Amino acid sequence: MPAAPPRSRSAGAPRAAAGRASGPHPGARPTTQRRVDPVTARLRIGRLLLAALLAVATLKLVVVQSIEAGDLSASSARQRTTEISLPAVRGAILDRTGAPLAFSVDARALVTNPRLIASTKGPEAAAYAAEMAAGVALATGQNQADLLALLTSGRGYAVLAKLVDPDVARALRDRFPEIAEEQRESRQYPGGELASSVVGMASWNADAQQLTGLVGLESSQDKLLAGADGVRVVDTAEGSDTVIPGSTRYERAAVPGSDLQLTIDSDLQFTVQRLLSAEMQRIKPKGASVVVLDATTAEVLAMANGKTFDPRNPASISGDQLGNPAVTTPFEPGSVNKIVTMAGALEYGLARPDEVLQVPGHIKVADRTINDAWDHGTEPFTVTGVLAKSSNVGTIMIAQRLGEDRFADLLAKFGLGARTGVGLPGESAGRVPPRSSWSGSTFGNLPIGQGLSVTAVQMAGMFQTVANDGVRVPPRIVAATIGPGGVRTPTPRPDPVRVVSARAATELRTMLTAVTQDAEGQQGTAPEAAVDGYRIAGKTGTAQQVDPGCGCYVKGRYWISFVGMLPADHPRYVIAVMLDAPPGAEHAAPLFRDIASYLAQRERLPVTAEEPAPQPLVAR
């Protein structure tokens, strides 16, 4: 085979070029080009986004679990829990036998949304409102026109009835679903005006969601009567007030209010108020007060005023009816105060009941001349006659024997110038001028009951001292409190005060029986106070009233008083009567007699075995 001819240089050049192009260039960096898969790219972006979201979530979790943890926890609790108030039942006020003078019952207020009725009922709204007004009026006794005006007022909230029985509320809600109930407590006063100036009145306080005392014991003893509300914490269904059964988280039971048991005798109180009301109608004084005390214990058995009110009808009450003048309004006692001088004279042996004094028609004390209430020359009055005839001049003659210091001491022992602590709000201490302020003429005023003031309950307390053999027991009106569970706690008895001896008190009671005697020529100032079959010891008082404008006494305007003890020998009762500015020549003695007669008959008090001989008042 012939040999292949050798290739020319030019012919081999392309191979060499091709070979150089396909092979690595000596000293050059090799390059590699790769195409990225689209799936891989999306995965990478997803991972980055996921990491960013995770970082944000982690940061939020840290914030929620640390910085916002407390607020979020509280908000969550509020959404799922509800506090339900458990109202405490207000305590009752009872008389001495346990009969209720005031007590509470469960009640409801009826409320609705007139605006919602108008929007949901459309053209039928007017007819529906009229039907609802008629239904509520029939069930509650309210005025139908007034109710219709409320229901068509366009308000967002209207009270249709403040206090209704729960059964009535339920029936109306079943008939008219737009009516809602609100929990209430209704205060009941079964006796109406009976002892209302003592008991007072309470009404529903919408802000406090409970009954609140306004006047009287309802006000002064409000905290004791109110008790303490309880609370229950429960879970409720979302968006409603429906309690989830078994979800109670916490409960504090309500503590019922305590009952107050008074010393008041309801039957006697009713009779006193009836008799006083009749007297107010007959003689028409500006005002009046009556206080009846147990002569031994000084418990207030009855306390009445000329102006009173019915707590069942608040709309009819005027401001001047709400007070209790028997303890809040002092007055000058006048001649009633003469028993202080006589008690001191008997206690210190400075006078005898049958001692005869030559009493002129007037007497001068410092720069003042004191006259008797009637014109007379010098007359031979016995010491008993000075008291029974109510001689100002004779009383000052005896007071001068007693002296200013002993007289001032007796005023304090009788409880004048200090509150009695009877247990009623707004009590006045009255006024006795301090001993250091007395002028020369002061001792011409005080022994005859001028220049000082007392309340009706203080005045009764003075005579309770004499009735109780010289021992004053501060009066009280709250006998006991009865707490939850019926635990009865008697009110502590006040410390007695020995004012005069039993001997002096007994002598003074005998002298005071002459005030009611009606013997010819030996008549006392109040025979109208006598009660057939009984000896009555008492004293009249007539004191001129002071005009606040000029500070001077007003002629023809008086405080008229009578205080007496029944029966005089062994007193069971003290009855104090005060009439404020009665027109004409009226006396307080007849009202005393009527009250005393009722007590004597009701209690079947033994009559006096033998009528004593009249006591000499004027020596003949």
Which positions are annotated as active-site residues?
335
The span from the CA of 366 to the CA of 441, in Å, is 5
Report the C-alpha gap between 601 and 599 in whole angstroms: 5
Distance separating alpha carbons of residues 575 and 463, to the nearest angstrom:
9
Partners of 187 in the β-ladder = 104
Does an H or E element contain 213, and which? strand 210-215
CA–CA distance, 446 with 543 (Å, rounded to integer)? 12
Three-class DSSP category at 93:
strand
Strand (E) or helix (H) holding 519: strand 518-519
d(CA 364, CA 371): 9
Residue type, 34: R
The Cα 282–Cα 285 span in angstroms is 9
Which residue type sits at 218?
E
Residues in the chain: 620
Contact 243, 235 (CB under 8 A): yes
Neighbours of 604 (CB within 10 A): 7
Closest Cα partner for 256 from 581, 486, 513? 486
Instruction: Tell me the sheet residues that pair with 259.
Output: 482
Amino acid letter, residue 432: V
The helix (H) or strand (E) run that includes residue 231 is strand 230-235
Q: How far apart are CA 337 and CA 315, in angstroms?
A: 41
Residues 6+ apart with CB under 8 A from 185: 87, 89, 90, 104, 105, 106, 107, 204, 210, 211
